[in-house]
Chain A
Amino acid sequence: MKTDINFTVNGEAVREAIEPRTSLADVLRDNLSLTGTHLGCEMGACGACLVLLDGAPVHACLVLAVQVAGQKIETIEGLNNSGLVADLQEQFHDRNALQCGFCTSGMLMSAHALLSQNSMPSRPEIRDALSGNYCRCTGYEAIVDAISATAERRSKIVEGVQ
């Protein structure tokens, strides 16, 4: 009863035979060994499993793998390799905005999505944008700091260029 689906993950074309009930998260983790996408609740509440589907963050635990046929998925591994979030990662590192690291991939996805829509979010806007991401370790403040610092740095670079 398995169906073949083709999609792109982190720029690589993949073809996987899967059961229709399999979630995107399970295919990424189990079939493709992309274990940076974490599962904290498997019901769309915690945000640990966020990935980019054609550029927009989605809960990989709620998306069925068959739904992504022909589309582009970006996971934390891809985002990391592309260098697109290198400055965010650095700010997270500086500010110790992660402890156990289980929420971190999802946090980076949300932060990346926020900053691509709103280049200078206020702290309340950042806190709001993280409303789908649970972190049990950090108390959130360091994460907010890191995102805010990244926005500031990016805006300075843009100003510098102009």
Chain B
Amino acid sequence: MTTSKGHIGQSHRRENALRHLAGRGRFVTDLVLPRMLHAAFVRSPMAKGKIVELDVSDAAAASGVVRVFTAETLNDMCAPWTGVLDHFAGMQSGAQNLLAEKEVLWAGHPVVMILAHSRAEAEDACELVMLDIEDEDAVVDGEAALAGGSPLAAEGLDSNLCFQTVLKTPGLDEAFSSAAHVVEGNFTFGRHTAVSLEPRAIVADFDPSTGQLNVHQGTQTPYQFQDVYSRHFGLPEGKVRVIAPDVGGSFGMKLHVYHEEMATVAASLKLGRPVRFVADRLESFLSDIHARDHRVKARMALDSNGGILAMDVDDMTQIGAFSSYPRTSVAEGNQVIRLMGAPYQMPDYRGRLSVVFQNKVQTSQYRAVGHPIACAVTEALVDLAAEELGLDPFEMRQRNLVADDAYPYVSATGYQFEKLSHQASLAKLRDLMGYDALRQEQATLRTQGIYRGIGIAPFVEITNPGATFYGVGGARISAQDGAVVRLTPAGDVYCAISVTEQGQGTETIIAQVIADQLGVTPDQVKVSTGDTDTTPSGGATWACRGAGIGGETALRAGRKLQEQILTLAAAILQTDPTLLSLANGAVVDTATQHERITLAEIGRIATYRPDTLPKGCDHSLTVAQHYAPTGYPFDFTNGIQASYVEVDIETGVTRLLKHWVVEDCGRIINPLLVDEQIRGGVVQGLGPAFFEECLYDDMGQMVNASLADYLVPMAGEMPDIEIAHIETPTLDTILGAKGVGEAGTAAAGAAAMNAVNDALRPTGARVSQTPMTPMRILTALGHL
């Protein structure tokens, strides 16, 4: 076995960070190809209407314009796509196509595509398009959408209900009727969006002489897009190559199928030359997926000791005019109702989900799908219960969190937990934040008219998804990942892997894992990602699979290569491979650790002098490995967060003072990267809790679609974030790693909401809507 361990678990810096620090990143937005055209889109200015007139002749004649496409001239290139999955029984959605045909369904729906020599010329020509739309009543609000007599969000739908489901345990009614206490609340979670700093970007390059389509795309999931382009444009998969170089932030937003990307590919196929589309920020707000947009009614039944008996939850998710493709817009709500109460021993549950269409841009999977909603609702009710029973929030959690020795455990919603560490996390958090001293400080300051609040929120996070996630519903989304690892003639290691890098540090952790298997250092392992032609196919990066699934794939590939090297070395050294191992870039004698032959020498012999090897000796020095999880359907991580805030009850302004996270992501491969994933995630949870919201008027117009109006959390508003870890490796894999990318986002908002309400407690006010803007806090205080 491996003798030179020790890179897994170390804080290695990211080699690829050096390029970015030097200003030498390679983003799709930086790419220029010969004869490349630039695309701009004319979008519907209205949320709903019929296209009655469309005249593009002036635009087509404008300076620099090469082609103008409308639905009539482009849509036949592509098979329409429909965002439904079989396992969401009864769900409906309209089919989508490249450009709007006859009707427009949200303000921002692309109607015309203009290709010109420069982006500026294409945009100029957009102004010359005559587009007349007969305005129709837009479906803006989800509740109104479900009321009788509401217009439909799109033609061809049965109703505005996309999907409905109910989960229920048999004892629910009994739990509520026998409860000593029932607490309840209504919650509203605003729409927000990813605001990746690099907008969506694509350069499609079709070469008619070879039939090869190369697509350079800022995406997390190149293989998924290879499959989508191949199927929807009728191209052999082998003729479609998707290259995802550096990606300037994605967070789930860059794995959905969008009209503009599909139209860009179609245009390149038509014209046989490279076509580029880069969204500007306004377009990003109008066309990137939005997230959340839930209204939740929930109640919780408790016994006289504060033991949680049951929850009864009704979630309405508002998703826009279509369900997104290929993952659907139902996955979020589905996860919301299944994650409710997840950290707690709670025997009974009912969760009802209604997914509703509206005339807005579609919502879909964004970092920590469903988690922040389930966590905020659960934790708000647990805090309400603690208040009613006169229990400290820590005491309340201690009584109810699943015990650390109770695993394996199945939640009332059917999730199977292998092993979590809620109680240990709770205790660790209490120490980390110095809870008792904080409570004292809070009490002292209150006497001076300063309102501070402490909020805590335990969570579980879903990671390492297997085929039961999307595959069972018929989606062509890979549940497995693949790696090819080889020893070069000079004795270096090269790994091509399907999990992708968007700055999380995928390439670094893969290098660490492989280095440990082969007795080299991580800087001797070159990792390449993000190109469907040069890496094996796989799911890539979504739902936290990089470390857990990608890392395990790399580990197994590394071990295979280790075995191959040792077999070859044994043949060369005329000894038994079981007596040899790898360390310090060489094959060593296991017993003495003495060097027998270097990897460079093995590479040299295998490559240049295979004639000196015994007959039949395998000297390929390359292995391929694919891996898909086979144990639990997916893994869960857990943790707990705490927030310390100050609320100015005169102005409603909130100041975030400090945030703490205790987190258990299983085996930690690189603590430096894990901590930064958590911090970034926390800020993406605090943003929508306090600032971020896509605001719409009654006509369905987004009214803050610019970075001047949409508030993104800034350095000055964000607190320092202290992090501690517990490690409970999953036994499903050799590596034991779960995921961590969404943990920060999962519970930050819940902790913050509890903290704000704790600060407000002496006033009797409560906030249950995010973002918790000064206006909403003042309204809760009765000042407005």
Tell me which residues across on chain A come within 8 A of B25, comparing CB atoms: 35-36, 101-102, 104
Tell me which residues across on chain B come within 8 A of A37, comparing CB atoms: 23
In the complex, what distance in Å separates the CA atom of A41 from the CA atom of B196? 10
Stretch in contact with the other chain, from B244-252, B308-316, B606-614: B244-252
Tell me which residues across on chain A come within 8 A of B199, comparing CB atoms: 40
What is the 8 Å Cβ interface bit string for chain B, positions 665-695, against chain A (1 contact, 0 not)?
0000000110010011111100000000000
Please determine whether A141 and B718 come into contact, CB atoms closer than 8 angstroms.
Answer: yes
Tell me which residues across on chain B come within 8 A of A30, comparing CB atoms: 32
Tell me which residues across on chain B come within 8 A of A127, comparing CB atoms: 715-716, 718
Stretch in contact with the other chain, from B13-21, B561-569, B696-704: B13-21
Tell me which residues across on chain A come within 8 A of B250, comparing CB atoms: 100
Closest to B18 in A: A93
Say yes or no: A96-B281 contact (C-beta < 8 A), given A135-B197, A136-B197, A141-B720. no
Say yes or no: A96-B21 contact (C-beta < 8 A), given A103-B197, A136-B712. no
Q: Which of A46, A93, A123, A137 interacts with B707 by CB under 8 Å? A: A46
Say yes or no: A75-B249 contact (C-beta < 8 A), given A46-B707, A131-B714. no
Closest to A92 in B: B21
Cβ of A89 within 8 Å of any chain B Cβ, yes or no, is yes
Tell me which residues across on chain B come within 8 A of A139, comparing CB atoms: 676, 679-683, 718, 721, 744
Closest to B196 in A: A136
Q: Which of B21, B32, B716 interacts with A104 by CB under 8 Å? A: B21
Please determine whether B21 and A35 come into contact, CB atoms closer than 8 angstroms.
Answer: no
Please determine whether A100 and B198 come into contact, CB atoms closer than 8 angstroms.
Answer: yes
Q: Which of A19, A40, A94 interacts with B197 by CB under 8 Å? A: A40
In the complex, what distance in Å separates the CA atom of A138 from the CA atom of B712? 13
Tell me which residues across on chain B come within 8 A of A43, comparing CB atoms: 281, 706-708
Quote the shortest CB–CB distance from A142 to chain B (angstroms). Answer: 6
Cβ of B265 within 8 Å of any chain A Cβ, yes or no, is no
Say yes or no: A143-B676 contact (C-beta < 8 A), given A93-B17, A100-B198. no
8 Å CB contacts to B: which residues of A134-152? 134-144
Say yes or no: A137-B249 contact (C-beta < 8 A), given A45-B708, A96-B672. yes
Tell me which residues across on chain B come within 8 A of A75, comparing CB atoms: 23
Closest to A142 in B: B676
Tell me which residues across on chain B come within 8 A of A100, comparing CB atoms: 20, 196-198, 246-250, 502-503
Please determine whether B721 and A94 come into contact, CB atoms closer than 8 angstroms.
Answer: no
Quote the shortest CB–CB distance from A46 to chain B (angstroms). Answer: 6
Closest to B684 in A: A136
Cβ of A39 within 8 Å of any chain B Cβ, yes or no, is yes
In the complex, what distance in Å separates the CA atom of A79 from the CA atom of B22? 8
Cβ of B30 within 8 Å of any chain A Cβ, yes or no, is yes
Quote the shortest CB–CB distance from A14 to chain B (angstroms). Answer: 17
Tally of A-B Cβ pairs under 8 angstroms: 175
Q: Which of A38, A108, A136 interacts with B21 by CB under 8 Å? A: A108
Closest to B720 in A: A141
Please determine whether B716 and A77 come into contact, CB atoms closer than 8 angstroms.
Answer: no
Tell me which residues across on chain A come within 8 A of B19, comparing CB atoms: 101
Tell me which residues across on chain B come within 8 A of A128, comparing CB atoms: 715-716
Quote the shortest CB–CB distance from B76 to chain A (angstroms). Answer: 34
8 Å CB contacts to A: which residues of B485-503? 502-503
Cβ of A76 within 8 Å of any chain B Cβ, yes or no, is yes
What is the 8 Å Cβ interface bit string for chain B, positions 696-735, against chain A (1 contact, 0 not)?
0000000000111000101110101100000000000000
Closest to A89 in B: B21
In the complex, what distance in Å separates the CA atom of A101 from the CA atom of B15? 12
Please determine whether B281 and A41 come into contact, CB atoms closer than 8 angstroms.
Answer: yes
Cβ of A80 within 8 Å of any chain B Cβ, yes or no, is yes
Tell me which residues across on chain B come within 8 A of A80, comparing CB atoms: 21-23
In the complex, what distance in Å separates the CA atom of A80 from the CA atom of B22? 5
Tell me which residues across on chain B come within 8 A of A93, comparing CB atoms: 13-14, 17-18, 21
In the complex, what distance in Å separates the CA atom of A142 from the CA atom of B744? 15
In the complex, what distance in Å separates the CA atom of A52 from the CA atom of B715? 21
Tell me which residues across on chain A come within 8 A of B683, comparing CB atoms: 138-140
Closest to A130 in B: B715
8 Å CB contacts to B: which residues of A46-103? 46, 48, 75-77, 79-80, 89, 92-94, 96, 98-103
Tell me which residues across on chain A come within 8 A of B248, comparing CB atoms: 38, 40, 100-102
Please determine whether B198 and A40 come into contact, CB atoms closer than 8 angstroms.
Answer: yes
Cβ of A2 within 8 Å of any chain B Cβ, yes or no, is no
Quote the shortest CB–CB distance from A66 to chain B (angstroms). Answer: 15
Cβ of A16 within 8 Å of any chain B Cβ, yes or no, is no
Please determine whether B23 and A40 come into contact, CB atoms closer than 8 angstroms.
Answer: no
Top 9 A-B pairs ranked by shortest CB distance?
A36-B23, A101-B20, A99-B503, A76-B23, A102-B248, A139-B679, A100-B503, A35-B30, A45-B707
Q: A79-B23, A102-B197, A141-B679 are in contact. List 5 more A-B contacts (CB 8 A).
A: A36-B24, A96-B673, A98-B21, A100-B248, A101-B246
Can you list 12 A-B pairs with a CB-CB distance of less than 8 A? Answer: A21-B120, A41-B707, A43-B707, A80-B21, A93-B18, A101-B246, A101-B248, A136-B194, A136-B680, A138-B683, A139-B682, A139-B744
| Residues of B in contact with A (beta carbons under 8 Å apart) | 13-14, 17-25, 27, 29-30, 32, 120, 194-199, 246-251, 280-281, 502-505, 672-673, 676, 679-684, 706-708, 712, 714-716, 718, 720-721, 744
